[in-house]
Amino acid sequence: MSDPRYCAEIISVGTELLLGNILNSNAQFLAEELAQLGIPHYFQTVVGDNRDRLQSAVKIAAERSGLLIFTGGLGPTPDDLTTETLAACFETHLAERPEVITDIEAKFTRRGRVLTDNNRKQALLPVGAELLPNPSGTAPGMIRSPRSGLTLMTFPGVPAEMRRMWTETAVPWLHQNDWCRSILVSRLLRFWGISESALAEKVAPFFDLQNPTVAPYANNGEVKLRITAAAASEAEGVALIAPIEQELRAIAGRDCYGADNDSLASVVGALLHDRGQTLAVAESCTGGGLGQLITTIPGSSQWFWGGVIAYDNRVKQSLLNVSAETLAEAGAVSAVVAEQMAIGIQQRLGTTWGVSITGIAGPDGGTETKPVGLVYIGIAGPTGCFGVERRWGAERGRDWVRRLSAGEALDQLRRSLLNLT
Amino acid sequence: MSDPRYCAEIISVGTELLLGNILNSNAQFLAEELAQLGIPHYFQTVVGDNRDRLQSAVKIAAERSGLLIFTGGLGPTPDDLTTETLAACFETHLAERPEVITDIEAKFTRRGRVLTDNNRKQALLPVGAELLPNPSGTAPGMIRSPRSGLTLMTFPGVPAEMRRMWTETAVPWLHQNDWCRSILVSRLLRFWGISESALAEKVAPFFDLQNPTVAPYANNGEVKLRITAAAASEAEGVALIAPIEQELRAIAGRDCYGADNDSLASVVGALLHDRGQTLAVAESCTGGGLGQLITTIPGSSQWFWGGVIAYDNRVKQSLLNVSAETLAEAGAVSAVVAEQMAIGIQQRLGTTWGVSITGIAGPDGGTETKPVGLVYIGIAGPTGCFGVERRWGAERGRDWVRRLSAGEALDQLRRSLLNLT
């Protein structure tokens, strides 16, 4: 697998990447595609529109990878240097391709534009290179093997043009030329309610597996395990993954809430839908973020009716029936207010479940006993109501507190739904 | 300037980048920062969680750049290898830093969690390295000069943690250590209600300026112009930018809503605050997204009271007084229902302004006359109420429709607030 001749490397050419003007979404797209095709890929390089530095990057890449995929630097302006630099690296001459001139002329005529000398430059390709047609733009790419064990592919930097050329020409070429030797099949298990390090300790032996491999990730309060199998076919990969997934799920129990494209909202939605139950929310510190998260799910109107954003205490009283005495005694950020909010919205809208959030998102408003990051979640269901306290801390800021609170509310509802079965 | 000792290189470590699971937003952030600090930066490398390949990437980078900035691979799991690989590259030992253990323990105690052996690993740093504290997470970074003319900086891969560490510790360090030779000063003007191409046409001559430069960007429905000046001092840069900003604002009029860290929500909040006025929202298709956007602003409780998520028509009737006849005749997605929702929430909560959104976010639910992407916004204010129709189209998906609708609602409120002055 790690024979350099069978590895790909992505080389993104463009000073705008080095200035941080644009995100390198081309590299992500190509990386994902290579993984799916089962082509190993261990390095990516970004380099500016500069002949010497591009040449040095090509030299380094050609020593460690057999397939160099270039994006960018094919445009008509003088700082577009990829094609001529690659010709120079491997001592070839450039020649004008009449079919490219014809193609550009036709496109320009359709758009009412006139060919300039700059555009003629785009028709220059190294002698012996295979044309990689660009159906949606004027800059074609090329496929070329300057020596045995080394293939170069060039694409323009415009994402839509690059993607189409990749899919329509490069992928079939890679299949025909025996690059796609094995398939990578992967499955992402998703967890909530356990830290990355705690989960990593529980499943530590799995990280030593060779095929499939298991690797942990964490972001936005969510922990993930990616199981990746290299196999000769999709079915074989799935079969390799299944027993590992089963073992991991058995170890994690309900902390594993789903897989792949599942989200807490989609899992909660499916549970509610199966039971013919409905949901409403009452939000203070999240200000609508819980409802927003729920309604990312298409079709959520089948089980989500809506709710109240009770940012001001007057709204908690008037729309959610939170008692003035409780607010005065326990404070708006308390378990008892969270419970009253949850019951309030459940009763007001007549839904099966009411879920509430009240907390201190910060940066201001914290006290010694009620610090920034303190949040209460209320869950009112068919069999009663309970409140949960969470302390997210102030360090990661207001958005973090709000995001984790919305996720935790959905997770508490998920666990309640599972308990009731 | 291009003496390698004075150049930076970004090395992003993480197999998830090679698998295309995540976008390399860290590299973009750092690239932009380096440009602003005037630190030359000619290469970026992405490499997986693999000791040998990371080591080879470090070797290459150390030959061509004097400041190597690493992101990723500082986590608690065994595949987090950056620190130990850097120690091995430059033949240093790792030693546990008691202050890091203390810091992690304190963070864990606050969150009610227990330290694991994996976490202790995060306190190991090469002997002689300067600690780069991580106020928001458990993985600290380091700053280390293993030899003259070479500096290493390590950051965790979590963007929020990395950014804070960069801003709070790394940038001051770079200033103190004479890395920032010339200053780039920039100002970002923000626009809503005009397309990128329409704005670009209006301000086309500005794109030819040399110092300051003017460049357009667009994302999430918002258009931006970045004015960037190279100068010997901050004050000189600001003076170069000011007249250009003035001219651009004069051309754009009210389509320019703010600059730099302004958001539509913060601008609307400042206008409401100045006037001593209050706001409530009534949301259907955005499901809480407008409230969520408003409450990203710290202190928004001073002028935002809350609202109703009226996802189901029953909620529109019971909490917002939308008439059953209107719903039956005009449909829930109509200007008249948007107006009734806005008036309903304004009256129910007793705020100065009521803003509503009702629309078809898709992917399902569209018809010939009411296609996916059709949205109505209602604005009820001190002098009356009006509805606005927008057609965002279905092509860019549900999230796009919802995000643009929330932004447009804030922009309509902003223009109404300005008109009333």
Mutation test of the interface with chain A: which of B34, B37, B71, B292, choosing the one with the most A Cβ atoms within 10 A?
B292
Q: What is the 3-state secondary structure (H, E, C) of chain A?
A: CCCHHHCEEEEEECHHHHCCCCCCHHHHHHHHHHHHHCCCEEEEEEECCCHHHHHHHHHHHHHHCCEEEEECCCCCCCCCCHHHHHHHHCCCCEEECHHHHHHHHHHHHHCCCCCCHHHHHCCEEECCCEEECCCCCCCCEEEEEEECCEEEEEECCCHHHHHHHHHHHHHHHHHHCCCCCCEEEEEEEEECCCCHHHHHHHCHHHHHCCCCEEEEEEECCEEEEEEEEEECCHHHHHHHHHHHHHHHHHHHHHHEEEECCCCHHHHHHHHHHHHCCCEEEEECCCCCHHHHHHCCCCCHHHCEEEEEEECCHHHHHHHHCCCHHHHHHHCCCCHHHHHHHHHHHHHHHCCCEEEEEEECCCCCCCCCCCCCCEEEEEEEECCEEEEEEEECCCCCHHHHHHHHHHHHHHHHHHHHHHHHC
Question: CB–CB of B306 and A294 under 8 A?
Answer: no
Percent over 90 (pLDDT), chain B: 76
**Nearest Cα residue to A225 out of A238, A240, A239, A212:** A212
Pairwise CA distance, residues B377 & A406, whole Å: 26
Q: How many Å lie between the alpha carbon of A104 and the closest alpha carbon of chain B?
A: 23
How large is the greatest C-alpha to C-alpha distance in chain A, in angstroms? 86
Residue B164: per-residue pLDDT: 95
Q: Architecture of domain B264-420 in CATH?
A: Alpha-Beta Complex (3.90)
Question: CB–CB of A364 and B298 under 8 A?
Answer: yes
Is residue B158 within 8 angstroms of chain A, CB to CB?
Answer: yes
Is residue B106 within 8 angstroms of chain A, CB to CB?
Answer: no
Residue B2: per-residue pLDDT: 58
Q: Is the pLDDT of residue B346 over 80?
A: yes
Q: How many Å lie between the alpha carbon of B360 and the closest alpha carbon of chain A?
A: 11
* pLDDT tens digit sequence for A58-98: 999 999 999 999 999 998 777 789 999 999 999 999 999 99
Instruction: Tell me whether strands B150-155 and B141-147 are parallel, antiparallel or unpaired.
Output: antiparallel
Instruction: Tell me whether strands A256-259 and B67-71 are parallel, antiparallel or unpaired.
Output: unpaired
Interval B136-150 mean pLDDT: 93
CA A120 to chain centre: 39
State the helix-helix crossing angle for B313-320 and A335-349, rounded to 10 degrees. Answer: 110
* pLDDT tier, B217 (very low <50, low <70, confident <90, very high otherwise): confident
A19: nearest CB among B31, B79, B398: B31
B31: nearest CB among A18, A291, A311: A18
Residue B289: per-residue pLDDT: 98
Question: Under 8 Å CB-to-CB from B153, ≥6 apart: which residues?
Answer: B67, B68, B69, B70, B132, B141, B142, B143, B170
Question: CB–CB of B291 and A309 under 8 A?
Answer: yes
Give the DSSP letter string of B39-54: --EEEEEEE-S-HHHH
Nearest CA in chain A to B60: A60
Q: Is the pLDDT of residue B214 over 60?
A: yes
Residues in chain B closer than 8 A to A395 (CB atoms): 107, 135-137
CA distances, B157 to each of A26, A219, A273, B16 (Å)? 20, 10, 37, 11
* pLDDT tier, B1 (very low <50, low <70, confident <90, very high otherwise): very low
Pairwise CA distance, residues B225 & B248, whole Å: 9
Q: How many Å lie between the alpha carbon of B251 and the closest alpha carbon of chain A?
A: 24
B311: nearest CB among A215, A295, A395: A295
Residue B379: per-residue pLDDT: 98
Question: CB–CB of B362 and A298 under 8 A?
Answer: yes
Q: Are B315 and A306 in contact (CB under 8 A)?
A: yes
Residue A421: per-residue pLDDT: 65
Q: Is the pLDDT of residue B303 over 50?
A: yes
Q: Which fold has domain B183-259?
A: Alpha-Beta Plaits (3.30.70)
Question: CB–CB of B398 and A296 under 8 A?
Answer: yes
Residue B421: per-residue pLDDT: 65
Sequence letter at residue B338: A
- Range in A29-38, A66-75, A303-312 with the lowest mean pLDDT: A29-38
Q: What is the ipTM of this complex?
A: 0.79
**Annotated domain spans of chain A:** 4-176, 183-259, 264-420
CATH code assigned to B4-176 = 3.40.980.10
Residue B234: per-residue pLDDT: 86
Question: CB–CB of B308 and A308 under 8 A?
Answer: yes
* pLDDT tens digit sequence for B371-415: 999 999 999 999 999 999 999 988 778 998 999 999 999 999 999
Instruction: Tell me whether strands B8-13 and B130-132 are parallel, antiparallel or unpaired.
Output: unpaired
Is residue B364 within 8 angstroms of chain A, CB to CB?
Answer: yes
Residue A78: per-residue pLDDT: 74
Question: CB–CB of B296 and A53 under 8 A?
Answer: no
Pairwise CA distance, residues B374 & B283, whole Å: 15
Question: CB–CB of B116 and A348 under 8 A?
Answer: no
Pairwise CA distance, residues A68 & A157, whole Å: 15
Mutation test of the interface with chain A: which of B108, B309, B315, B347, choosing the one with the most A Cβ atoms within 10 A?
B309
Question: CB–CB of B21 and A299 under 8 A?
Answer: no
> In chain A, which among 390-419 make CB contacts under 8 A with chain B?
391-393, 395-400, 402
Looking at beta carbons, which pairs linking B223-227 to residues 24 or more positions away fall under 8 Å? B223/B190, B223/B191, B223/B192, B223/B194, B223/B195, B223/B196, B223/B199, B224/B188, B224/B189, B224/B190, B224/B191, B225/B188, B225/B189, B225/B191, B225/B199, B226/B186, B226/B187, B226/B188, B226/B189, B227/B186, B227/B187, B227/B188, B227/B189
Interval B234-257 mean pLDDT: 96
* pLDDT tens digit sequence for B169-210: 999 999 999 898 777 788 999 999 998 778 888 998 998 898
A301: nearest CB among B49, B215, B311: B311
Percent over 90 (pLDDT), chain A: 79
**Nearest Cα residue to A1 out of A175, A179, A173, A143:** A179
* pLDDT tens digit sequence for A189-242: 999 999 988 999 999 999 999 999 998 888 778 999 999 998 888 899 999 999
Q: Is the pLDDT of residue A267 over 70?
A: yes
Provide the token pair at A176. Answer: 């025909």
Question: CB–CB of B308 and A306 under 8 A?
Answer: yes
Nearest CA in chain B to A400: B160
Provide the token pair at A236. Answer: 């074989």
B160: nearest CB among A50, A288, A396: A396
Question: CB–CB of B308 and A298 under 8 A?
Answer: no
* pLDDT tens digit sequence for A164-180: 999 999 999 999 998 98
CA distances, A372 to each of A394, B158, B330, B402 (Å)? 5, 21, 46, 30
Residues in chain A closer than 8 A to B300 (CB atoms): 287, 311
Is residue B27 within 8 angstroms of chain A, CB to CB?
Answer: yes
